[in-house]
Amino acid sequence: MIESNRNKDLEKRIEAYVDGNLSPSEIDELWAELLDNEYYYDYMKSVASLKKISEDRESESKLQRTESQKTVWLSAAAAILLMFGAATIFNISTEPSETVSPISSIELDYYRSADGNVADDVKSDVVRQAISTANTGDVAKALSLINEELQKDNSEYKEAELLITSGSILYNSGRFSEAISRFETALEIDYDDMMLRERNYWYLGNAYFQVNKLDEAKFALEQAFELNGAYSRVAQSYLRALSVR
């Protein structure tokens, strides 16, 4: 569990921002915090993605309700169609969405302080360099930098960070099987940062989802959910959706 590491106030403000319920000054304050916190910046994108899924689902539901009403008025068997339409609407509103998709890409960015400067104490130089290189499109060089660093004697945390970063680069390149291998290897390391571990499971679950290994995806997402961190809610939503597949 990582309950003690959660910033519940920040999570609430992120959700309020996504819902359009923050003032301009509150938005500025929120972004100042997010620029210095990649974990919650990534969380904000997940909340926004989840909201879009929910809105798309609601839009589809309204469209189907409208079509159902038209059918009721035009059909001679109005009573039967009304019953069918009500059952259909009930299913739409109560069943989990079946349209969720794995995340299209993993954000590769630096941690930044409130003044916009890169925070030197957050990522290793090699990780920052690899991310910068990958962002220019030179994936091979970025992976080479990380692979060279992995040959050295690193701390458990840095080893996991290097593997997760390289897995993210591979994921964004569409090399999902290779990304899975990196994420799985990172999980074999006994590092203490539960936020990093939670993200590791979240990325792994999405990578499995990309290659249609849904049982494995569910397992990884369950681990992310059970860690009860910032990804818990979005992981739960994905699990509900995957359960009806």
Domain boundaries, the chain: 3-94, 127-242
Q: List the structure tokens of 163.
A: 């593997």
3-state secondary structure 97-133: CCCCCCCCCCCCCCCECCCCCECCCCCCHHHHHHHHH
| pLDDT at site 192 | 84
| pLDDT at site 95 | 41
| pLDDT at site 12 | 82
| pLDDT at site 206 | 96
| pLDDT at site 115 | 39
Secondary structure (DSSP) of the chain: --GGG--HHHHHHHHHHHTT---HHHHHHHHHHHTT-HHHHHHHHHHHHHHHHHHHHHHHHHHHHHHHHHHHHH-S-HHHHHHHHHHHHHHHHHSPPS-----S-------B-TTS-B-TTTS-HHHHHHHHHHHTT-HHHHHHHHHHHHTS---HHHHHHHHHHHHHHHHHTT-HHHHHHHHHHHHTS----HHHHHHHHHHHHHHHHHTT-HHHHHHHHHHHHHTTSTTHHHHHHHHHHHTT-
What is the signed CA dihedral for 165, 167, 169, 170, rounded to 10 degrees?
Answer: 170
| pLDDT at site 28 | 67
Single-letter code of the amino acid located at 63: L
| pLDDT at site 147 | 96
Render pLDDT for 90-132 as a digit per residue (tens, 0 to 9). Answer: 333 334 445 688 898 998 764 333 334 444 344 578 999 999 9
| pLDDT at site 76 | 38
CATH superfamily of this structure's domain 127-242: Tetratricopeptide repeat domain (1.25.40.10)
pLDDT < 50 stretches in the chain: 1-2, 70-97, 110-122
